[in-house]
Amino acid sequence: MAKELYDAIAKLLTEQRNPASMNMDMMSTEEILRLINAQDKLVALAVEREIPYITRAVEYIVTSFKNGGRLIYFGAGTSGRLGVVDASECPPTFGTDAGQVVGLIAGGDKAMFRSQEGAEDDPALARTDVDTQNISPLDTVCGIAASRRTPYVVAVVARARELGAKTVYITTNPRSEFDLDVDVAICPEVGPEVLMGSTRMKSGTAQKLVLNMLTTTAMVKLGKVYENMMVDLQLTNAKLVERSRRIVMMAAAVDYDIASHVLSEAGGHVKSAIVMIKTGSTLEEAQRRITAAGGFVRLAIGELKSGG
């Protein structure tokens, strides 16, 4: 069994030696940095080739959200941590409920700060974690594993499919080698790491780029963005309060004092403040407009007609 696992891992593209870095241990500091940077430049191109598959994944996620479902990330190690980070950023950035985008890592919360590597090999733990989340056909479950083979993530996705959820899998090994039963696989092929097998590097960067694309695009499609500004952010600290004022100022072409006053009247709700100023409406009327527009500010202020 150990030899079979060795052979499986040895064949992975992400476990190969990178010809460009064979003499890394003899390079100067600047040469090492330039080498890493040159390899990192390849990552965005690898992600670009996966956009058709990322598009499908976003469509599943948006459908889940519109029907009251969730996006739930599962991963182990670096992959799991990236999912938790992306999920944790959604409430302050987009005003989502804490349970709408969920990130889970093999080994639980303690694995965020200290490696619990053995947890990634436990399919039984994976099934328990899935069942604890009460996953349903309304949800989209996204497994994240650079190698594709991580037992915890493989078992998560299999169990999620049994429960009827849509399934997405993000791996940085080639699509030609992907053999799992999922609704959509996202496979940015980043090639061997500068440091052999250290998938926290190019693989982790690719995964982070994909996660950014999934949630940001889904939130745009839900009306949480006006032009290119986040208008459902939560005012949970001084920086976000000032950012909210600046967004209102730019969106409605008003000065700081007016933006502050109307934002206060709107209870800190940026969308409402923008609609109030641009349409001359009361808070109640602005909220009615926003609801009727499905959350889209452009529709609420009449810049676009519904369906236009």
Query: Which residues are the active-site residues?
Result: 89, 120
Residue 228, Cβ neighbours under 10 Å: how many? 6
Pick from 47, 29, 45: nearest CA to 217:
47
Q: How far is CA 246 from the centre of its chain?
A: 26
